[in-house]
Structure 1
Amino acid sequence: MNRERFHGASTFSEYLETVGKNRELWHALARRAAVDEETRQRARAIPDRWKVIALTEDWCGDAINTLPVFDRLAEAVGNIELRVLLRDENPDLMDAHLTNGTSRSIPVLIIYDESFRERGWWGPRPAPIQEWVMTEGMQLDPADRYRDVRRYYARDKGRTALDEFLRILERATAGD
């Protein structure tokens, strides 16, 4: 990643204007996304400024349910800048961030410091639901599995994803 590539990527708002699949759902979840004050304070306490690239595609249900809260966090705190790139148009980034070393699962959020040095990455979904999907969830019919995943996201409201993301940032700063 470099400055030009990062700044050439879409902001989340710009990305929202381009989504074709699930457009209404993307916009509805973006309007409803909220980040509690404790999470905002925790993020503001993380030193330095951070550049974050989200790899996604508009058909991805996990992205629909997580990217709006990541964007809301970035808007609220000022030390995180989020940009969006399409997975299928950026295979070099995607292939360097495969789930379990094999799967092009999205979304993936890649965290860079101000020098565009990669400091960590998160994705494709919060650990508790990822573990469930990869074990019990795989025993279900896909429609039932996706219904249960949507229920998880509706209950969790992005809290677990944000917590995991902030832990990555906190570890990155602890290593400095």
Structure 2
Amino acid sequence: MAKKTARASHGTPAVVSLEKAGIPHTLHPYEHDPLSGLSFGMEAAVAIGVDAEQVFKTLLADVDGKLVVGIVPVDRKLDLKALARAAGGKKAWMADPAEAERATGYVVGGISPLGQKTRHTTVLDESAEAYDVVYVSGGRRGLDIGLAPSDLLTLTSGTTAPIARA
């Protein structure tokens, strides 16, 4: 009986969705260090050598009972009121981490806006439009993906809005 060939170690649902769509991207693996003392996003920015405002974290919030994805620079915070407005809702609060993991199929610290189990309304902070390439989680801790913000929006059916705050 022949062995099945193992998938590439980067074959996360996020990477597979990019490859399937034919969207140009770059992979940036790095060694995740749980003892670094940095947030997952800041660790990624340092590890791949990119300014923090160009690396984006994926957060899930509950907007009026519906999960919504907010994507903001790792050196900023998600403005929940702004996210609610952008998603056409009234009130938002951060989703429970376990709920975010179940809904996306990813673990906290590795949640990618791409290739999620269920498609959610997605809002990318408008600051991403200042860059030719932004970096988001590749679907696991220790992997980021570089891609054009317009391609990120296309693949997620997302919109942009000012949803980040200092």
Instruction: Normalising by structure 2, report the TM-score.
Output: 0.31
Structure 1 or 2: more strand by fraction:
2
Instruction: Normalising by structure 1, report the TM-score.
Output: 0.29
Higher relative contact order (CA 8 A, sep 6+): 2
Structure 1 or 2: more helix by fraction:
1
